[in-house]
Structure 1
Amino acid sequence: MSKRGLLTILGARPQFVKAAAVSRQLRAFGIPETIVHTGQHFDENMSDVFFREMSIPTPAYNLNVNSLNHGAMTGRILEQVEEIILREKPAAVMVYGDTNSTLAGALAAVKLHVRVIHVEAGLRSFNMAMPEEVNRILTDRISNLLFCPTDAAVANLKTEGFDGFKAQIVKCGDVMQDAAYFYLDKAKSSSKILERLELRSDFILATIHRQENTDDTNNLKQIIEALNKINNELSVVVPLHPRTRKILDTKGIKPEFTIIEPVGYFDMLMLISNSKLVMTDSGGLQKEAFFFGKHCITLREQTEWIELVEHGFNRLAGADAEAIYNAFCEMVNKKSNFDIELYGNGKASKRIANHLEQWL
């Protein structure tokens, strides 16, 4: 590998989306990149399809680590990434977001005295019960270069004393906005999801995947109860991971709305941009709703994207059926001006590549 080369660690759907935007700019700036796919998300629609659709460089390594508990997954990824770092000798390791792949990649690098770059640094939900919160805090602390998407993210790091650490903080904007804007036209020409499901613009798009909801029977029952009630007024469409569907079957929880298989990124863009309202426990989908001028109800008690709540684009409802339904009634016909710059207006990836050209 070139002395300026990056080793990029990817494993989950949102990381593929972010990498699609950044990798394109790295190529434009002539920065070599080798991609490691940990295999954390192993479903066809949640992994391989992203590399094909979005022209992300084919991973040089695929670790196939999946279907394990947090500790085992993180440990096995760490072990294998360490071997790759020793072989490739990169100038730095770049990680995205807050998954087990993120933390494992960062730990492997720092223990070998290789610099760590964290894209989407500084985000905080302030809920330490979330595995993602633990991952992002630890990854930030051992990173050398922290690319923050928002002013709030920068402020979080400064509050935690990062001005006194040997780490560089850069506000760059959100690379997911870059990807969403760049790929929408391609999605319009290639996706047939709306026709296949016979959807118009009067449907609710909902997703449920956080362990705090899927693994808590009461939370899951409450969310399904609310979605069933809402489905009586507007059609609810839920792309659902097989694992969550199995939990519903096992617990005897009966959805009365439309469940579809997990979809690729382009199909998801079409579902978001044509929906009337988004309801989700995903961090990324909260932002993607905003990118396309849609209000969002977050099925969690906290969010990393506080600016969306502060500006009235997002409403936190938790996992309480009554609160979710009340939020639906409030948000479904709400009118807002989405013409506000919160996430960099599609230029974050170029800012990252430009900074890395000098930093590496």
Structure 2
Amino acid sequence: MIKQESTSPILCIVGARPNFMKIAPIMRAFAAERLPAMLLHTGQHYDRDMNDTFFNDLGIPKPDFNLGVGSGSHTQQTAQIMLRVEPILNQLNPSAVLVVGDVNSTIACALVSVKQGIPIIHVESGLRSNDRTMPEEINRILTDQLSDLLFTTEPAALSNLQREGISPERVHLAGNVMIDTLHFNLPRAIPYRTTIEHLGIADSLPTLTEGYALLTLHRPSNVDNLETLESIVSTINQLALQLPFIFPMHPRTRDRLERFNLLGKLDNKRIITTPPQGYLQLLGLMKDSRIVLTDSGGIQEETTALGIPCLTLRENTERPITIHQGTNTLVGRNPELILRAFHQGLEPNPKRSEPPKHWDGKAAIRIAATVKAWLASLPQNNHNAPS
């Protein structure tokens, strides 16, 4: 006799754009395993147009719940999410709550879940920058401590978790669901020329026969300080003399550039600024570029999978495998180091290697199979155990 699956769903949480890329393959894999799942969007990322674009591009089902939290300080966002998610957990009584990544939605929903005795699954566990001034680092550490089942993207993550007292039995090396999304969507990536023609800026571009560099920039440590941002603008202007840049500008970055009177100092003949782009557009811009400069964690991983040189404009990274086994170089904000690494990245044979273990587009399949077996193994007297 086949054991009946639990009718109590897994509640999957998203809140910001990096979550969307991670949840898409998980929802597909859960459906394939016939694991009942529902999706809750906290609304931490509140740009409706960009939300719709990402959900449509990635094939994510419409959320079953949307908390509509919106902007605010870290404390305000976290508190509002906790207040609004609690009644939904009471109503739904899920078999588990699955959280991804390290945004405020991740820790907020994990905190409420553990208080209610609901098992927590954390995808992308164990990543550490060892920089506790980053709010994401605090979110990562605390979420891992609260979680019952932890999925990692790289072997070093297990060492981090063991050092923090987490039992290896709770940890599984699944691979990288961001790379699942990349593999799934790569054939659909929109070529850069299509994007710039759609924006109506093709006629005003510098010649791109030599290729171009892609720049993304949004972290407060890079854009909220006048001297830091001014130094980055100056460095990018120097680099743009060698290779044109395409710069999809985050709203926060545009606001700071305008506030500091730096927007006009970008070399507008060699640096093409655009509004924020959808996933398929950005993937095409990345795929077609010669080199990428970024402060994004996800882009460090995606460029490693694509074999494209990446310069990370940060002093540390929670994704060291992209440096040791990928195409990423940590350059911080040192102009001389950035210039030197940029030249090296444009050389005919920049560092390339095979993708890390399990970065093969099948991480979500492994996660779904493990979750299914884990739920079936929970004690029958657990209020959320499969019947």
TM-score, normalisation: structure 1: 0.94
1:329 counterpart = 2:338: no
Instruction: Select 1:151's aligned residue among 155, 158, 163.
Output: 155
- The residue number in structure 2 matching 1:83 is 87
- The residue number in structure 1 matching 2:256 is 247
- How far, CA to CA, are the matches of 2:295 and 2:352 in structure 1? 23
- How far, CA to CA, are the matches of 2:329 and 2:312 in structure 1? 6
- How far, CA to CA, are the matches of 2:110 and 2:63 in structure 1? 18
- How far, CA to CA, are the matches of 1:4 and 1:346 in structure 2? 28
- The Cα shift of 1:2 comes to 5.3
Instruction: Select 1:177's aligned residue among 161, 167, 179.
Output: 179
| Structure 2: stretches of 5+ with no match in the other structure | 203-207, 376-387
- The residue number in structure 1 matching 2:311 is 297
Q: Percent identity?
A: 40
- The Cα shift of 1:188 comes to 4.5
- Aligned partner of 1:321: which letter? P
| Structure 1: stretches of 5+ with no match in the other structure | none
- The residue number in structure 2 matching 1:132 is 136
Instruction: Select 1:101's aligned residue among 105, 109, 112.
Output: 105
- The residue number in structure 2 matching 1:59 is 63
Q: Which range moved further: 192-201 or 325-334?
A: 192-201
Deviations 1:320-350 (A, max 9, x none): 2232222212222243333343443111010
Aligned residues of 2:182 and 2:302 also touching (Cα < 8 A):
yes
Instruction: Select 1:15's aligned residue among 19, 35, 60.
Output: 19
Task: Tell me the secondary structure at the aligned position of residue 120 of structure 1.
Answer: strand
- Aligned partner of 2:362: which letter? K
- How far, CA to CA, are the matches of 2:210 and 2:196 in structure 1? 9
1:352 counterpart = 2:335: no
Q: Which runs of structure 2 are paired with 1:210-359 in the superposition (5 Å)?
A: 210-253=219-262, 254-256=265-267, 257-311=271-325, 313-333=327-347, 334-359=349-374
Deviations 1:139-180 (A, max 9, x none): 00101010001101111111222128xx71111000111110
- How far, CA to CA, are the matches of 1:344 and 1:289 in structure 2? 12
Aligned residues of 1:125 and 1:304 also touching (Cα < 8 A):
yes
- How far, CA to CA, are the matches of 1:42 and 1:155 in structure 2? 36
Q: Number of residues paired by the alignment?
A: 358
Residues 3 and 201 of structure 1, relative CA distance in 2, 3 Å threshold: farther
- How far, CA to CA, are the matches of 1:307 and 1:88 in structure 2? 38
- Aligned partner of 2:170: which letter? Q
Residues 228 and 12 of structure 1, relative CA distance in 2, 3 Å threshold: same
- The Cα shift of 1:192 comes to 2.8
- How far, CA to CA, are the matches of 2:132 and 2:213 in structure 1? 30
Aligned residues of 2:304 and 2:326 also touching (Cα < 8 A):
no
Q: Which range moved further: 222-231 or 66-75?
A: 222-231
- How far, CA to CA, are the matches of 2:132 and 2:226 in structure 1? 20
- How far, CA to CA, are the matches of 2:353 and 2:71 in structure 1? 39
Q: Which range moved further: 155-164 or 31-40?
A: 155-164
RMSD, aligned CA: 2.0
Q: Which range moved further: 196-205 or 40-49?
A: 196-205
Aligned residues of 1:201 and 1:274 also touching (Cα < 8 A):
no
Where do 4+ consecutive residues of structure 1 move more than 6 Å?
Answer: none
- How far, CA to CA, are the matches of 1:313 and 1:28 in structure 2? 33
TM-score, normalisation: structure 2: 0.88
Task: Tell me the secondary structure at the aligned position of residue 162 of structure 1.
Answer: coil
